[in-house]
Amino acid sequence: MVKVAMISDLHFDINHVDIDRTIEQQSQWLTQNQIGVYLIAGDLFNHFNCSLAFVEKLQKRTPATAVRFIAGNHDMVNDISYDDLQKSLSETYLHRKKFDIPNTDWQIIGNNGWYDYSFSAVLHRPDEDFLHWKRAYWIDGAINQPMSDPDRMTQELQVIEAQLQQAKLNHKRVLFMTHFVPRIEYLRITSDDRFWNMANAMLGSTRMGDLLKRYQVERVLFGHMHIHPVPRHLDGTTYYNQAVGYGTTRRHEWITNDFQSEWLNRVRVINLTSKDN
């Protein structure tokens, strides 16, 4: 059995977190609780270099735990290009990669993910409308990419499907980690042009959920939405959103009053064992 701890949307910079202290606190907790794998599903900082540096320092401080992360949209805003995001920048960066958990038949597959406006299909608006709205109101407007959002999503789905096919051939059970929302059931949807209906277009893709269902992926960790849902079992897959979110004066999404307490409240531990055990 291996203990896996899962979290997302830490937003260290926005939450004004003391990073050195947090690395020490998380390292101690991971060690004391004998965590084998620690997964962070994106949105650590608004600068990729800071996100990578945090995970690298935590990994060095906690050698008995495999620390792995992917990039969320906030991590992509500064210090990283689209092309560099696709590279194997570090052992800790799991985008488009896999991690076989030792002594189990489990494989963790990581992909940053993206979106294709399919969550807002009820609005029947052309892609150009969503792109203009994104550039005017959404932080992602600052992210440069050499293709449209739907095309970017298609490209990631192709990469993920190839990994899932290989995992199936290798008789691996899969825990899939992504940042963006994979199921429309998590969204609030109405048929008008309210802000959240336009924002839904940038939250994820119905095609992701369809792909995970087709390959019968057992567990999925995601983030992006700063909500506190219990794990949901949908079409044979258990979904986890473990977002910490914002604890600022303007947007106080926490149920506690300090980052460490909120992190402890949101981090979820699951036990992964092989079918033969």
Q: Please give the full DSSP string across 220-245, using - where no structure is assigned.
A: EEE-SS---PPPEEETTEEEEE-B--
- List pLDDT tens digits, range 25-78: 999 999 999 999 999 999 999 999 999 999 999 999 999 999 999 999 999 999
**Domain with residues 2-272, CATH architecture:** 4-Layer Sandwich (3.60)
pLDDT score of 178 more than 60: yes
Query: Is the Cα torsion angle 99, 210, 268, 54 positive or negative in sign?
Result: positive
Residue 194 confidence (pLDDT): 87
pLDDT score of 232 more than 90: yes
- List pLDDT tens digits, range 137-170: 999 999 999 999 999 999 999 999 999 999 999 9
| Average pLDDT rounded to a whole number, residues 86-113 | 97
| Average pLDDT rounded to a whole number, residues 236-264 | 96
Amino acid, single-letter form, for residue 223: G
CA distance 192 to 176: 33
> Torsions phi, psi of 106, nearest 5?
-95, 145
Which residues are CB-neighbours of 30 under 8 A, at least 6 positions away? 5, 38, 62, 65
3-state secondary structure of 211: helix
Question: Where are any strands of DSSP class E within 8-138?
Answer: 37-40, 66-69, 97-100, 106-111
With a pLDDT cut of 90, the percent of the chain lying above it is: 94
Residue 247 confidence (pLDDT): 96
pLDDT tier for residue 276 given thresholds of 50, 70 and 90 = low
Q: In Å, how far are 78, 124, 246, 275 from 242, measured between CA atoms?
A: 24, 31, 13, 26
Residue 195 confidence (pLDDT): 87
- Can you give the residue ranges of every domain in the chain? 2-272
